């Protein structure tokens, strides 16, 4: 009885876009000898280079590492530190980068949100919650994307 065959992404000899980030990704995969056990490290490098893991990036990784695309996608979506959608720019205004509760106020642009935060009126109101013993404040401004994922 033969072993079931896994579907492998089609082989692409180069990336059609000519994007140099793919060359950097090639170097990362070569560093790990295209070993399937290095998939998480490769995904981290790809996300660092591209900002998120788009479908063409996942297909490129699957092809280069000779892995089923479904496996690469499954690993990507299993771990919450990978993103398959672009995330917006953000700026930490107060507190740390660990978030427990969200209050979302939408502004047309990040610049307008930061300007509001830095306004005299907002700073006077915020002084009450910044008083000693009131609690820990965490505030982040996000430009686009989904701030809650």
Q: What are phi and psi of 111, to 5 degrees?
A: -60, -40
pLDDT tens digits, 76-134:
988 878 888 877 666 666 665 554 455 667 778 888 888 988 899 888 877 877 777 66
Q: How far apart are CA 22 and CA 29, in angstroms?
A: 10
Q: Domains in the chain and their CATH numbers?
A: 1-86 (1.10.10.1590), 89-143 (no CATH)
Q: List, as one string, the DSSP characters of 61-98.
A: HHHHHT--HHHHHHHHHHSTT--SS---EEEEEES-S-
Rounded to whole angstroms, the Cα distance separating 116 from 104 reads 14
pTM, 2 dp: 0.52
């Amino acid at each position: 009885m033969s072993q079931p065959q896994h579907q492998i992404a089609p082989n692409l000899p180069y990336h059609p876009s000519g994007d140099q980030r793919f060359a950097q990704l090639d170097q990362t995969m070569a560093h790990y000898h295209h070993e399937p056990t290095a998939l998480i490290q490769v995904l981290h490098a790809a996300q660092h280079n591209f900002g998120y893991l788009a479908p063409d990036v996942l297909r490129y990784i699957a092809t280069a590492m000779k892995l089923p695309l479904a496996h690469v996608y499954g690993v990507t979506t299993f771990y919450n530190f990978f993103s398959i959608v672009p995330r917006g720019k953000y700026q930490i205004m107060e507190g740390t980068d660990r978030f427990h509760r969200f209050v979302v106020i939408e502004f047309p642009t990040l610049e307008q949100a930061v300007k509001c935060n830095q306004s005299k009126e907002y700073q006077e109101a915020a002084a009450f919650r910044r008083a000693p013993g009131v609690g820990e404040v965490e505030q982040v401004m996000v430009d686009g994307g989904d701030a809650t994922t």
